[in-house]
Structure 1
Amino acid sequence: MDSFFIRSEIPADIPAIFAVNLQAFGEDGEARLVRALRNDGDYIPGLSLVAVYENKIIGHILFVPITIESDHAHVPAIALAPLSVCQEHQCQGVGSSLVEEGLRACRQLGHRIVIVVGHPTYYPRFGFTTAPALGIKAPFPCKNEVFMVCPLVPGALDGIHGTVRYPPAFDAEGAHAG
């Protein structure tokens, strides 16, 4: 594949982002989630990135604010949710590039911790490790190996434990169902 580039989303991208999520996942749950997060204001525009190839959006990644809550603290963090790449462009480095650029943008904006629910052999290459092993719990049932955390700066996870709280759209759109 010739080169593609990554940039922040612009308003004109919204229909294409919906279509990419729909096509990549084969159902509309993630596409509806992205729309709901955007409509609720529970996203950071600079952390909604698209991959563009031949003037067409072929991939999308979104990072949204969350918290890790314990009896003693509410620690701000970011969730990577979702990552989508059109099926015909998967396994060509588009997803990896989106994750790498997204994590770079998170660091640049001063974020310290990223949480993802994802494939346990894909995300560790970017610095993710199993969150429950570090005392960070999901607010919904999921296998420990798919609930992961990535510290963006040294020491970001020191003393951090608790349960992750996602924006309401995750429950409203069924993102935590199964």
Structure 2
Amino acid sequence: MKKTDINAILDIHRRAFGKADGEAMGEAIAQLAKDFLDHPGTISISVEREGKLAGNVLFTPFVFADHRDTKCYLLAPCGVSPHHQGTGVGKELMETSIEHLKSIGTDAVFVLGVPTFYPRFGFVPTGKHTPYPDLLTAPEAWMSLELTEGTVGKLSGKTHAIPQFMDAHWWDTSQHG
């Protein structure tokens, strides 16, 4: 991936999360996205409008200790530029991503996100553990999308995200209102 592409992706996340949550959060999410893009297992999907990046979503490997051969990903972050929010970019990101993940044999996708957005694309609340289950104060925000039938029900055990996502503060839902 070219440096200009990476910078455009980081800018999308900086602006998407900075607008709603303040400049500091936008910078933190952009840094997290940069860290994720440095990981070889990360999948990046973008949507353009008028030849410019309008949205981006990243998927990183997510491992269940008791089921290491099951191919799971975490969805985060998913950002749409403020100018394009509410215009279908988020929907296109999700639909394109789900099709891509199916095409590469992904079994399930997990997200700690907005419980009013992700169910539109088939995500449902899940009782599977996050890496920090004691910090999950908003269980409706922890969702899964099963891409291989019967996968999620079989998953158990501790979970691990890539190192950059194993910081406990990313999993603490008490800080989000």
How high is the TM-score relative to the length of structure 1? Answer: 0.83
- Which residue of structure 1 aligns with residue 124 of structure 2? 129
Mapped pair 1:31 → 2:30: yes
- Which residue of structure 1 aligns with residue 10 of structure 2? 18
- Which residue of structure 1 aligns with residue 59 of structure 2? 63
Quick one: which amino acid aligns to residue 15 of structure 2? Q
Query: In the TM superposition, what is the alpha-carbon distance from 1:160 to its structure 2 partner?
Result: 1.6
Query: In the TM superposition, what is the alpha-carbon distance from 1:147 to its structure 2 partner?
Result: 0.5
Query: In the TM superposition, what is the alpha-carbon distance from 1:170 to its structure 2 partner?
Result: 1.3
Mapped pair 1:96 → 2:95: no
Query: In the TM superposition, what is the alpha-carbon distance from 1:138 to its structure 2 partner?
Result: 1.2
Quick one: which amino acid aligns to residue 139 of structure 1? P
How high is the TM-score relative to the length of structure 2? Answer: 0.83
When you count helix as a share of all residues, which structure comes out higher? 2
Counterpart Cα distance in 2 of 1:165 and 1:149: 15
When you count strand as a share of all residues, which structure comes out higher? 1
Q: Deviations over 1:63-122 (max 9, x none)?
A: 11111224xx33431111110001121111100110111011000000010000111111
Does the 8 Å contact 1:137/1:162 carry over to 2? yes
Counterpart Cα distance in 1 of 2:168 and 2:139: 22
Within 5 Å, which residues of 2 pair with 1:45-64?
A: 47-64=43-60
Quick one: which amino acid aligns to residue 36 of structure 1? D
Structure 2: tracts of 5 or more residues without a match: 19-25
Counterpart Cα distance in 2 of 1:61 and 1:137: 22
Q: Percent identity?
A: 29
* Alignment size in residue pairs: 161
- Give RMSD over aligned pairs: 1.8
